[in-house]
Chains A and B, each alone.
Chain A
Amino acid sequence: NAGVTQTPKFQVLKTGQSMTLQCAQDMNHNSMYWYRQDPGMGLRLIYYSASEGTTDKGEVPNGYNVSRLNKREFSLRLESAAPSQTSVYFCASSALPSQGNQPQHFGDGTRLSIL
């Protein structure tokens, strides 16, 4: 049982390049999330998917797009990377709130640098 798996673990991009961060969970969770973590800023929600087939913006969605490919997978895409998007990106998943208050489980993160 791997939990939440993110790929890649590290990536360096040039300004203007595009890339997709991958996330998969094997806990049969309905809800999935993408956060970015910057020094002194805590964890800020970029996008989330409450259930398969739905996606919604979080606190800092500009410059990002997401795809909920199926129940297991939730990808984050940077169409034209900017230095301000240099950050550590975490994917998380949780069971539905209708099943009771549920904690979110995090992946190991993707460390992204944009030059």
Chain B
Amino acid sequence: GENVEQHPSTLSVQEGDSAVIKCTYSDSASNYFPWYKQELGKRPQLIIDIRSNVGEKKDQRIAVTLNKTAKHFSLHITETQPEDSAVYFCAGVYSGGSNYKLTFGKGTLLTVNP
């Protein structure tokens, strides 16, 4: 099955700096990679996703890049703000069959210091 590894496990940045979180996956058939943000005590919420036929996707201050050859994808947050502080999870899945099981990374605790 799929294995997703996420680094770093913790990341501390100053407000206004950029933050980058990286994930690698093992199953070359995986074709969908969502990113979730989870604030303390809250549910995980989708913030951005990327399909395997796309190399990069942006949404305001966040972007995700995908390198299918190297089997890794990254989340980029620019101009970080204190409200970006949360745990971020990457995930990967092959959704070509009848089953649709996301495999999550273990998460990155991002702290944005004012």
Contact = CB atoms under 8 A, between A and B. Distances in A.
B7 to A, nearest CB: 13
Interface stretch (B39-47, B55-63, B71-79): B39-47
A43 B46 CA distance: 14
Q: Which among A44, A103, A108 has the greatest number of chain B C-beta atoms within 10 A?
A: A103
Task: Describe B's contact surface by its main secondary structure.
Answer: loop
Given A101-B32, A101-B51, A101-B95, A41 B106 contact: yes
Interface residues of A, number: 27
Interface residues of B, number: 26
B104 interface: yes
B102 interface: yes
B97 interface: yes
Interface of A: 31, 33, 40-45, 48, 50-51, 56, 58, 90, 94, 96-98, 101-109
* A-B complex: 10 closest residue pairs judged by Cβ atoms: A97-B95, A101-B32, A42-B106, A106-B43, A97-B100, A43-B104, A103-B46, A42-B104, A106-B44, A101-B95
